[in-house]
Structure 1
Amino acid sequence: MASSRDRQRKLARAKFDRQLARRAEKERRRRRISAGVGAGLAVLLIVAGVAWIGGAFDSDESTETAAGDTCLWTPQSVTSNPDLKEVGTPPTKDLPEDGTETLTISTNQGAPIVADLDVASAPCAAASMSHLAGKAFFDNTDCHEITADGALRCGDPSGTGNGGPAYSFYDENVPDAPEPAPSASAAANKTVLYPKGTVALIGNPPSSNGSQFLIFLKDFAPAAQPLYPIIGRVSGGLDTLDKIGKITTVENATGDKVKPKDKITIKSLSIGPAPAPSAAPSASAQS
């Protein structure tokens, strides 16, 4: 499978090639019009009319924006991996690419967990989460793991770590590895890149994301290159995170001590527009 960077370069290159082709055609038409000037006004008008009908004077940028894909969804085989589910794919273009959306997760562990989904930094992840939420993909599924890094792992209906939708997509917004500190102490070289409340994706394999996501229950400073693309931050329900963080773990089917002893079930997961900021009270209202 091609790496996420290769896929991003391929999309960017294809878009750039389309832009060059359109600009070259526009320049050829311009030259044909200019060459006809010496033949007289009548010829010039005819050539200009043909060029106008052919779209020589259309906005290149607006055409290119409409034609370009925002995201690439790579099909995955349910035959090769029966833990995957066919749920279609999100759109590839005309997707939101700025602002935030509100991610609300209702569980059996207390008040809903509310997070700000970072559409600007991770538009494809936001589009995928919205698509899956609309299919009720996450509803009535268990978060099957509390990782050694201190994160709750959810989004796999199979509970195996191999499940997800029958498509994948590349990483967005993976933190850069920090520069090594001059101190020789290993502790001094650790930088928290995933603060408590960070929502991130986890791919299997890495850089091949689907539906599985992490909610960090404590600060995490990776010792190696960061792997998890950040998609949001928890803004409400921190008491629920604290409660989940106290749940002990037991061995799962593979012998790893990461399975929550108490079941953690997502009752529903929804995504909606971020609430508009409340208006400041007027002077008359304050008096």
Structure 2
Amino acid sequence: MASSRDRQRKLARAKLDRQMARRAATVRRRRRIQAGVGTALILVLVVAGSAWALGAFDREPTQDTANDEVCLWTPQNTDGNPNLRQVGQPATTGLPVTGTQPMTLTTNQGGPISVELDLANAPCAAASIAHLAGQGFYDNTKCHAITADGAVRCGDPSGTGLGGPSYSFYSENVPPAPEASPSPSADQPPTYPKGTVAMISNPPGANGSQFLIFFEDFTTAEPAFPVIGRVTGGLDVVEKIGALPTVENEAGEKVKPENDDVVVQSLTVGEPGLDPASPADPTPAGTSSPAASGVPEASASAG
């Protein structure tokens, strides 16, 4: 007959066998779980890699806009100046602040004039022109002056130089004054190269709707016109307008086209471009290209 000690040993051995069996079962279960997780992870990686390769994670580029207030529109007294028009105000936030925006003028003097507005350095001017163009503000208005500085002056429905919208905005991108030349023969780039588009206001700094398109290089020691863009096509039309004979206007300035009115039949502004680099030059044959004319990218704001 087995002793009490033998029975205790058998019971202890059976208990140990059961513990070992449970541990083995736990290990096998953990390995199955780990294998399943590994297989699932591999499957996820394969699916994600395939989706990436097919462009599922690609996003369309979006135009950078400013959510903070970018522009300040100052109301103007239309009662004190009957030449101003009530047109509301452009937005102050959500304005594009990178890249460029196309503007097209159609005149009675020839083919369209294409302009590239500089959203990075003159976002408020671009926003204002787009706002006004959307209301037909510029349509069937006259370019009332051919200035002694070598520019065509447009954008005043009254044709007096005093007209504009019922708001004004500050100057954004006035070029710096040229540096003193070390010698009389030293070459200096023009302050406003041919093809430059700039705002003009009276008084300076209270910009509205009027702008200049330069058909000649212009250099001045005291720049006052904020640069807002450049001509990319139709510069020959601007030069043709600039060559028209002039007579004195009401202020005694010999700037008014003598015989032919220069009429902006329409002015449109397209969607902002995402790429700040200039597109392929659309300048028609026989037209001076902006690059050849030395038209620069607008400089950093100084106004």
> TM-score when scaled to structure 2?
0.67
Once residues 239 and 178 of structure 1 are traced to their aligned partners in structure 2, the CA distance between those partners, rounded to angstroms, is 28
SS in 1 for 2:124: helix
Give the distance between the partners of 2:155 and 2:245, measured in 1 at CA: 20
Tell me which residue corresponds to 1:58: none
Superposed CA deviations along residues 232-260 of structure 1, whole A, max 9, x for unmatched, are: 10000122112112101101112111001
Q: Give the alignment of 1:94-243 within 5 angstroms.
A: 94-183=94-183, 185=184, 188=186, 191-222=189-220, 224-243=221-240
In the alignment, which residue of structure 2 is the partner of 1:253? 250
Distance 1:84 1:275 in 2: 31
In 2, the alpha carbon distance for the partners of 1:239 and 1:107 equals 13
Asked if the contact 1:117/1:231 (under 8 Å) is kept, the reply is yes
Gaps of 5+ in 2: 1-65, 281-303
2:71 equivalent in structure 1 = 71
In structure 1, C-alpha distance between the alignment counterparts of 2:271 and 2:88, rounded to whole Å: 23
Higher helix share: 1
Q: Distance in 1 between matches of 2:245 and 2:257?
A: 6
Uncovered stretches (5+) of structure 1, i.e. residues with no partner: 1-64, 279-287
Q: How many residues align?
A: 210
Q: Percent sequence identity over matched residues?
A: 60
Runs of 4+ in 1 over 2 A off after TM superposition: 187-191, 273-278
- Give distance in 2, aligned partners of 1:251 and 1:81: 23
**1:104-148 superposed Cα distances (whole Å, 9 cap, x missing partner):** 000000000001111111000000000000010000000000111
The residue type equivalent to 2:114 in the other structure is V
- Relative distance call for 1:274 and 1:94 in structure 2 (3 A) is closer
Q: 2:261 aligns with which of 260, 263, 266?
A: 263
Distance 1:139 1:256, change over 3 A: same
- Let me know the Cα RMSD of the aligned residues: 1.7
CA distance in 1, matches of 2:256, 2:269: 27
Q: Provide, for residues 17-42 of structure 1, a one-character-per-residue CA deviation record: whole Å limited to 9, x for no partner.
A: xxxxxxxxxxxxxxxxxxxxxxxxxx
Q: Larger Cα Rg: Structure 1 or Structure 2? A: 2
Task: Work out the CA distance in 1 between the residues paired with 2:76 and 2:273.
Answer: 35
* TM-score with structure 1 setting the length: 0.70
Partner of 1:272: 270
